[in-house]
Amino acid sequence: MIRKQDFKRINPVTWEIPRSFREDMRVPVRIFASDKILEATLGDRSIEQAVNAATLPGLVSHVVVMPDVHQGYGFPIGGVAATRLPDGVISPGGIGYDINCGVRVLASGISADEAEPWLDDLADALYAHCPSGVGVKGSVRLTAKALDNVLRQGSEWTERNGFATSEDVMRTEEQGRLADADPGCVSDRAKQRGRPQLGTLGAGNHFIEVDIVEEIFHAEAAQAMGLHVGNLAVQIHCGSRGFGHQICSDYVRELQKAVQRYNIQLPDRELVCAPLDSPEGKRYFAAMACAANYAFANRQVLTHHARRAFEETLAGKVGNWDLSLVYDIAHNMGKIETHHIEGEEVTVCVHRKGATRAFGPGFEGLPEEYRELGQPVMVPGSMGTGSWVLLGTEASMELAFGSSCHGAGRTMSRRQAKHTVRGDQLLAELENQGIHIRAGSMPGLAEEAPQAYKDVDSVVDVVSEAGIAKKVARLKPLIVIKG
């Protein structure tokens, strides 16, 4: 069991478990947390999982833990770890089952006051146009060849097929495409699951929200993003659906053998991995990139559907019903990046699991309008609470491999939430707060109750105080579409 006294306090919101804590650790573990968040985190296995992750071969610097951390499969959700190329390892457990689960925010020029009479109709239209639920199929019909093109091209495919604008593509992390994707490394089973699901929301913690921009904290950045107090914004949170889940399952199984073949000693078999330069590691990375591209395309097709819902509901009733993409970011991804570590420029595979890329000002890969500001970072809360738009910083590059938190972070498992919360009562409470809810099932709604999550404002306060992200805007929900 890990105790609070096992940590070395570096500053009010930064704590470290030194490498000497356990003899098999290769690097320290550093967590960003307030006293309250740290003490709450010790109630599950997430810090133990971070210590286990600190034993992976090829790690550089330290394992990072964000304040929204909670227990995951092998590796904590809210964790970041970087392994050196070429022979450091890649671990599916360090990336997650929902590969490239992510979130995007769209800005509008629609004031909440002028849209208020039609919010119920808008909720109906979004629910109708954006298929949600377990195993649901979408309206896009893909041949086997077309699916392979989606897997190679990601957001580029959506632009070529009328689902995206060039600005959408530019405002997506990596322009919505990882170059190393190889559909030949993906199983037939994964492709069968992926073909009918493009443009669907799914279930679990995935959602579409229509929010009001409640408060601005960084006027210049908010102006660049098109966010204005009192106007509507839209969040879309989903990932690679059954396609990405199947790829993770396939490679977790395959890499169990690779661990033995390369004689890699692990404290937890859920951390299965393979060297990045091994045939197994290369195949997993190429398949993971396919899932990442599928997820970028999925969120873009959902954006297309959301725009149709807005036009259908609000055209002729408000002045401008268009939605412009602020930015799209991934939460669960392995990325090849270059970072400055102890005075050395090092190429690494950054595992972000439940963590957001948060690059600071000057990164050439950002759209020109954000290049001098830093990368937009979206931090969704839970239903009935707020969400945040932040900016990546130079300190994030120094302290966290250019990363920040990704959400509020669970305090209850889904099973515990279903036993604690009644979905119909939660629905009534949220509607009494003026939030229009559309949900596929009451148990599914209960799983995502606000009380099952940490206070998102406290989480954002920690990353802000740590300096790894800056506050730009706070959003408040008006419509929530759940799977």
Strand 63-70 vs strand 376-379: parallel, antiparallel, or unpaired?
unpaired
- The conformation of residue 155, written as its DSSP 8-state character, comes to H
Query: Which of 464, 334, 473 has its CA nearest to residue 392?
Result: 464
What is the spatial distance between Cα 168 and Cα 405, in angstroms, rounded to a whole number?
23
Backbone φ and ψ for 412, nearest 5 degrees, come out as -125, 145
C-alpha separations of 478 from 5, 233, 314, 361, 481 in Å: 43, 10, 16, 32, 10
Query: What are 332's strand-pairing partners?
Result: 353
CA dihedral 220, 223, 229, 234 (to 10 degrees): -130
Burial 456-480 (b: 16+ CB within 10 A, else e): bebbbbbbbebbbbbbbbbbbbbbb
Query: What are 59's strand-pairing partners?
Result: 83
Residues 309 and 125 sit within 8 Å (Cβ to Cβ): yes
Q: Hey, what are 425's tokens?
A: 């009562």
Task: Choose, from 62, 129, 406, 436, the residue flagged as catalytic.
Answer: 406
Q: Hey, what are 342's tokens?
A: 């102890």
CA dihedral 411, 438, 203, 296 (to 10 degrees): -100
CB neighbourhood size of 277 (10 A): 13
Residues 340 and 188 sit within 8 Å (Cβ to Cβ): no
Residues 200 and 138 sit within 8 Å (Cβ to Cβ): yes
Residues 478 and 112 sit within 8 Å (Cβ to Cβ): yes
Answer yes or no: 218 catalytic: no
Strand 469-482 vs strand 436-439: parallel, antiparallel, or unpaired?
parallel
Q: Hey, what are 105's tokens?
A: 């925010």
Query: Which of 234, 235, 232, 250 has its CA nearest to residue 191?
Result: 250
Catalytic residue IDs: 406
